[in-house]
């Protein structure tokens, strides 16, 4: 164990440095390193986080974790589950705390100053992780436990933990030697730099390309959107104008409602050109290097390609099985697109528009078809979709299925990183026991990445003591005028429930070991996608989908129209998604030498017969899911894989005596599919819930496609 000569740990020495200063002058202790204090088992000091403290805190926390790891690796005691695997589970707690703050700056409060630190520290963090996974002595001890007789006597969750730890090290270059080991580490460092640059370039284009319009250009836009756009423009220093920001939450409703076709094209091109503008934020060179390095690293480990390595421990197991699922859906999606385009073109022709449907027309004319075919007006539906009411609806569902109670925390009693963030305590309705804390950061702003996501600042575990969950949901809704309710689209309402499903997964966790609180990528979206099916259940309809002006529940005939139109536009939805998932898999199963991303994207889509009226949901130069980190790399198909489980499980609830709120089935759901997290193999967990494997037929029925 590396110690300073005085016997103090590195972290202790750094803490002293911050208390006394380099010349003995007293300074404030680095709050990012401190234990979390306050209510609920301690909460992050978001109100005290200072950017100047971030770099030294990360460096000190990394040094502390290496000391902890070295102590395990250099132990003279024979390797056992307790002194090796369990001991490793107790390491890195300080770094976990610091990385929580780091994550807030990265996702919710990014600034040019933070990005400079991020560019420097991302490769250092990658190198730090590689130092641990390439620690020969540590891996030898892990391998000893993995191959020992002791393993057979352990509980199933302990056996799975050992397998997961061994597998993580073995698949991360632990067994490499000599030059190969050094090259692996160098690749990880460089990838961290490139992932960071890719993500920051997207954010720069989202912040830097804003379309400003005047009051004369609002034709077709609902008042609520216009008010939000005016507020956004004022915040950006352009009072009196209307800002169409370069994010999906602004682009999507504008393309749907605006009657100004030239502006629709401009907004569409601006959005889908992110990372592909030939300027200092262009991502094409970056992503080609990312692909080349991933391919090289996979081959160092003995795999044919990156996807083969990536999917080995996923539910899909192989790229071929993932592709098989996507290819089962693709023809049906294309056939539906042809029908949708024909319907839209017919509307345009009847109007005398004199146009051929283009990508910037799709949402606009799809809405006209929706109104014509189903007499369903999206703006009318939005009147019943108030953000605050939908949040209350989510709490109701959580109470009925999970026995959770959400109570707002008095403002100021829990620190937050922005005034828009609100906090709730979560308790068990039956026992009154504290379960965790839930943060909500709902609105778009400068420095916040686009989209919607969930994260946990602290996972539940019970290794040393019971740690309760600190979970968070984040969205990018456009804040309305002061005092006005925020009205959102039907799609955004489903997304809100979706991300809350992730939070419920965190809050339901019942694991002992931190590693088991993780997940398998093509499974972790299942829990969140399933929750979308509760948006249109009767109690939610009757009590929470109420008109923002009258307070009247959404009319039964409007609900019937929504249900009837449930499979509407599935050609567009599935094609834009599956195209992205297929390209992701192509990129990660090929030799990327000499790749021209723009040319490859066009050629690959042409071979797939991609309709010219639709673009990939995430074009390659801004495909942050797969290029700003490795989270969804060769794994974007996972949403579809998880949705097979989702559709199948939803049919189980539809057939249950108590429907979506059947208590017996809800208990099986929580006990088998939410609480265990990664302590049970996902396929086995699903069989315990359903009594069999999931079937693709349910997915095809859910989308209104022919069942194969």
pLDDT digits (tens, 9 = 90+) for 74-83: 999 999 999 9
pLDDT digits (tens, 9 = 90+) for 428-459: 999 999 999 999 999 999 899 988 999 999 99
pLDDT at 384 over 80: yes
Q: Report the range of poorest mean pLDDT among 5-9, 277-281, 346-350.
A: 5-9
pLDDT at 475 over 50: yes
pLDDT at 330 over 50: yes
Q: Report the range of poorest mean pLDDT among 92-106, 186-200, 480-494, 615-629.
A: 480-494
pLDDT band at 552 (very low <50, low <70, confident <90, very high): very high
Note whether 35 and 44 are within 8 A (CB). no
Cα–Cα distance for residue pair 678/509, rounded to 1 Å:
10
**pLDDT score, position 461:** 85
Report, as an integer, the average pLDDT of 263-290. 97
Report, as an integer, the average pLDDT of 561-565. 92
pLDDT band at 127 (very low <50, low <70, confident <90, very high): very high
**pLDDT score, position 11:** 53
- Exposed/middle/buried for residue 165 (C-beta within 10 Å: 0-12, 13-18, 19+): buried
Report, as an integer, the average pLDDT of 292-297. 98
Cα–Cα distance for residue pair 114/445, rounded to 1 Å:
16
pTM value > 0.85: yes
**pLDDT score, position 26:** 40
pLDDT digits (tens, 9 = 90+) for 517-528: 988 888 989 999
Taken as a whole, the chain contains a residue count of: 708
pLDDT at 28 over 70: no
Torsion angle of C-alpha atoms 503, 509, 513, 516, degrees rounded to 10? -70
pLDDT at 7 over 60: no
User: Which residues are tagged catalytic?
Assistant: 499
Phi, psi of 378 (to 5 degrees): -60, -35
Strands (DSSP E) along 40-144, which ranges?
Answer: none
- Exposed/middle/buried for residue 316 (C-beta within 10 Å: 0-12, 13-18, 19+): buried
Q: What residue ranges define each of the domains in the chain, with the CATH number in brackets? A: 31-201 (1.10.1370.40), 209-272 (no CATH)
**pLDDT score, position 267:** 98
pLDDT at 321 over 80: yes
Cα–Cα distance for residue pair 89/40, rounded to 1 Å:
22
pLDDT at 698 over 90: yes
Cα–Cα distance for residue pair 528/496, rounded to 1 Å:
10
Report, as an integer, the average pLDDT of 395-407. 98
- Which run of H or E residues covers position 700? helix 696-703
Report, as an integer, the average pLDDT of 306-323. 95
Cα–Cα distance for residue pair 495/532, rounded to 1 Å:
7
pLDDT band at 479 (very low <50, low <70, confident <90, very high): confident
pLDDT at 322 over 90: yes
**pLDDT score, position 462:** 82
Give me the sheet containing 422-428, strands edge to edge: 404-408, 422-428, 434-443, 469-477, 453-458
Cα–Cα distance for residue pair 422/42, rounded to 1 Å:
17
Average pLDDT, the chain: 94
Listed residue (677, 350, 352) closest to 511, CA to CA: 677
pLDDT band at 480 (very low <50, low <70, confident <90, very high): confident
pLDDT band at 351 (very low <50, low <70, confident <90, very high): very high
Report, as an integer, the average pLDDT of 260-284. 97
Report, as an integer, the average pLDDT of 27-31. 76
**pLDDT score, position 149:** 97
**pLDDT score, position 464:** 82
């Amino acid at each position: 164990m590396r110690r300073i000569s005085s016997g103090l740990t590195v972290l202790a020495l750094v803490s002293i440095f911050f208390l006394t200063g380099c010349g003995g002058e007293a300074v404030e202790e680095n709050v990012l390193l401190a234990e979390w204090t306050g209510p609920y088992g301690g909460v992050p000091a978001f109100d005290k986080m200072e950017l100047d403290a971030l770099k030294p805190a990360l460096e000190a926390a990394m040094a502390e974790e290496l000391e902890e790891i070295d102590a395990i690796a250099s132990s003279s005691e024979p390797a056992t589950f307790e002194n090796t695997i369990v001991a490793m589970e107790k390491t890195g707690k300080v770094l976990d705390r610091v990385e929580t703050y780091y994550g807030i700056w990265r996702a919710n409060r990014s600034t040019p100053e933070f990005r400079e630190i991020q560019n420097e520290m991302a490769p250092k963090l990658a190198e730090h992780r590689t130092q641990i996974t390439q620690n020969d002595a540590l891996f030898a001890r892990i391998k000893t436990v993995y191959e020992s007789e002791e393993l057979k006597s352990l509980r199933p969750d302990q056996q799975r933990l050992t397998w997961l730890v061994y597998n993580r090290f073995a698949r991360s270059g632990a067994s490499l030697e000599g030059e190969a080991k050094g090259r692996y580490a160098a690749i990880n460092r460089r990838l961290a730099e490139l992932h960071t640059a890719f993500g920051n370039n997207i954010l720069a284009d989202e912040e830097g390309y804003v379309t400003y319009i005047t009051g004369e250009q609002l034709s077709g836009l609902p008042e609520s959107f216009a008010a939000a756009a005016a507020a956004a423009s004022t915040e950006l220093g352009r009072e009196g104008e209307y800002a169409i920001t370069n994010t999906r939450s602004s682009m999507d409703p504008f393309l749907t409602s605006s009657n100004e076709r030239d502006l629709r094209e401009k907004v569409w091109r601006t959005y889908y050109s992110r990372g592909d503008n030939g300027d200092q934020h262009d991502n094409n060179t970056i992503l080609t290097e990312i692909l080349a390095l991933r391919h090289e690293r996979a081959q160092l480990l003995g795999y044919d390609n990156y996807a083969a390595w990536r999917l080995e421990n996923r539910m899909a197991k192989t790229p071929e099985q993932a592709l098989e699922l996507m290819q089962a859906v693709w023809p049906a999606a294309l056939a539906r697109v042809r029908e949708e385009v024909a319907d839209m073109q017919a509307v345009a022709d009847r109007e005398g528009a004199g146009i051929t449907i283009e990508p910037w027309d799709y949402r606009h004319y799809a809405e006209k078809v929706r109104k014509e075919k189903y007499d369903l007006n999206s703006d009318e539906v939005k009147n019943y979709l108030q953000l605050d009411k939908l949040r209350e609806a989510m709490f109701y569902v959580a109470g009925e299925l999970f026995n959770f109670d959400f109570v707002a925390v008095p403002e100021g009693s829990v620190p937050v990183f922005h005034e828009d963030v609100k906090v709730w305590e979560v308790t068990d309705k039956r026992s009154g026991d504290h379960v965790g804390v839930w943060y909500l950061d709902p609105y778009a702003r400068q420095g916040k990445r686009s989209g919607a996501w969930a994260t946990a600042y602290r996972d539940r575990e019970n290794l040393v003591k019971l740690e309760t969950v600190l979970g968070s949901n984040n969205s990018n809704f456009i804040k309305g005028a002061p005092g006005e309710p925020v009205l959102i689209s039907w799609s955004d309402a489903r997304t809100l429930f979706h991300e809350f499903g992730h939070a419920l997964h965190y809050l339901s966790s019942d694991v002992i070991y931190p590693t088991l609180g993780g997940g398998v990528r093509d499974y972790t979206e299942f829990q969140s996608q399933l929750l979308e099916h509760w948006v249109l259940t009767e109690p939610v309809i009757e009590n929470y989908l109420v008109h923002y002006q009258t307070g009247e529940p959404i009319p039964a005939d409007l609900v019937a129209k929504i249900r009837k139109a449930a499979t509407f536009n599935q050609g567009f939805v599935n094609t834009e998604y599956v195209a992205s998932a297929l390209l992701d898999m192509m990129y990660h199963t090929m030799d990327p030498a000499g790749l021209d991303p723009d040319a490859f994207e066009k050629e690959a889509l042409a071979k797939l017969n991609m309709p010219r009226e639709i673009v990939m949901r995430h074009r390659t130069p801004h495909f942050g899911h797969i290029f700003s980190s490795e989270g969804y790399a060769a794994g974007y198909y996972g949403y579809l894989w998880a949705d097979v489980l989702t559709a199948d499980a939803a049919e189980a609830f539809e057939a249950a005596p108590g429907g979506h709120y059947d208590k017996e089935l809800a208990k099986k759901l929580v006990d088998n599919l939410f609480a265990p997290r990664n302590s049970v193999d996902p396929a086995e967990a699903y069989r315990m819930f359903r009594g069999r494997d999931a079937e693709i037929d349910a997915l095809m029925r859910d989308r209104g496609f022919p069942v194969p």
